[in-house]
Amino acid sequence: MMQYTSLFSSSNELDSANWACSFLKENGVNKQIIDNIYNLVMATIHSSHPPNGDASLIVDIDLSILGCSEDIYAKFENNIRKEYKMVPSFIFKKKRKELLTRFISRERLYTHAYFYEKLETQARLNINNAIQGL
């Protein structure tokens, strides 16, 4: 039996971070740089607000899809559902709503003024619409 909960875990980010580290190590990159890359990739788990600096910028970029126009965001949500098509609808909806609710409960979605000013209002509208649609 497939374990659906693992489909909503942070394993994608961890897998990506580990792959990047292996690749960089095999190619002689400095350990400090490798550690930095690992931390940047892991920041995209979105379990909490990232520290300042590069990680917060990476997270703002990663979350920029939330602030796209309504039609583009709707396509994004549609594609997320397709990605997890093997997950029963009732599980997908519950997990997706939990994730979106965590985002919407934040005081700010974006750390940097540029992203906040340009995307915050639309992102909150998109997230609220997505939650209502679940």
The CA distance from 102 to 47, in Å, is 9
pLDDT digits (tens, 9 = 90+) for 99-127: 999 999 999 999 999 999 999 999 999 99
Length of the chain: 134
For the chain, what is the mean pLDDT? 87
pLDDT reported for residue 42: 85
pLDDT digits (tens, 9 = 90+) for 13-22: 888 888 988 9
Closest CA to 104 of 93, 96, 94, 114: 96
pLDDT digits (tens, 9 = 90+) for 72-84: 999 999 999 998 8
The CA distance from 77 to 70, in Å, is 10
| Average confidence (pLDDT) over 5-10 | 44
Q: Taken in order 101, 104, 64, 48, is the CA torsion positive or negative?
A: negative
So where are the chain's domains? 9-45, 50-134
Q: Taking 60 as the threshold, does the pLDDT of residue 7 lie above it? A: no
The larger pLDDT score, comparing residue 107 to residue 5, is at 107
pLDDT digits (tens, 9 = 90+) for 32-47: 999 989 988 888 887 6
pLDDT reported for residue 43: 84
The pair of three-digit structure tokens given for residue 45, joined into one six-digit string? 């788990």
pTM of the prediction? Answer: 0.79
pLDDT reported for residue 49: 64
